[in-house]
Amino acid sequence: MITIARTLAGAAVVVVGLAGCAYTNGVLPHGGIQPDIYDAVGDILVEKSVPVKTYPECTLESEGKTQTCVGETLTGQQIQATGDQSDKAMPFTITIGGQPFYTGSATDVLKQNASVS
């Protein structure tokens, strides 16, 4: 009984710690979405002065690997971004009206924007 109780309690310790963390349980489970690609797409659209009607919202596809983000410009063109959140660099591309607009690393974009140039 003691062994079982301790085993269960030990397991509980692990889960308690996990559950208590707003980051691991709050940020990541945005449907499993890492925020970096969404952030980088928004930053690039503003940096490049794209007139946006709807900023892209992202969803996760490909078994938790690929993010697809869809928005719209003020002229009615679709903004589409795709990125790979399983890769540490989080490579992503943005197309506007089906035309290539930007390719880069979300990690690099965020690193750059969090620091002084």
Partner 1 sequence: MSQLSRRTFLTLTGGLAAAWALPIDTVARALDRPVAPGDVQTTLVATIRKAGQSGYVKLVPAPGEPYLTRVDLLGREATPARAKTRRSLVYLGHMSDLHVIDAQSPARLDTMAGVDPVLFSGNFRPQELMQVQILTGLVQALNDAASSPVTGAPLAFVVNTGDSADQRSQQELRWYIDTLDGAKITANTGKPGEYEGVQVWPECDFAYHPEDPSNDVWGRENGYPAIPGLVKSAISNPVDSPGLSVPWYAVYGNHDANYFGGWPTGWMTNELATGSRKAALPSATERMFGSGLGSTSPFEKLFIGSIANRGFASGTRHVTPDPNRKIMSLMDFISEHLNSPPTPGPVGHGFSQADVDNEITYWAKDVTPFVTLVGLNTCNITVGAGGSIPQDQFDWLKAQLVKARAANKLVILATHHTSFTLDNVAQPVIGPQQNLIVADEFISMLHEFPNMVAWMNGHTHLNRITGHANPNGVGGFWEISSASCVDFSQQGRVTEIVDNRDGTISIFTTVLDHAAPAQANYNDLSQSGLGSISRELAANDVYWDTDSLLGSVIDRNCELLLPAPFDMAKISDQIVAKSQAEQRVRLLAAGGATQ
Question: Residue 60 and residue 31: Cα distance in Å, rounded?
Answer: 7
Q: Taking the complex as a whole, how short is the minimal distance between the CB of residue 61 and partner 1, in angstroms?
A: 17
Indicate the residue among 57 and 97 with the shorter CB distance to partner 1. 57
Helix (H) / strand (E) containing 14: helix 2-19
Q: Residue 30: how many CB atoms within 10 A of its CB? A: 13
Tell the smallest beta-carbon distance from residue 9 to partner 1 (Å): 4
Q: Which residues bind partner 1 (CB under 8 A)?
A: 2, 5-7, 9-10, 12-27, 29-31, 34-36, 38-43, 45-47, 52-55, 57, 74, 107, 110-116
Please check whether residue 101 is in contact with residue 95, taking contact to mean a CB–CB distance below 8 angstroms.
Answer: yes
DSSP string, 59-72: EEETTTTEEEEEEE
Question: Residue 49 or residue 99: which is nearer to partner 1 going by CB?
Answer: 49
Closest to partner 1 by CB, 76 or 98: 76
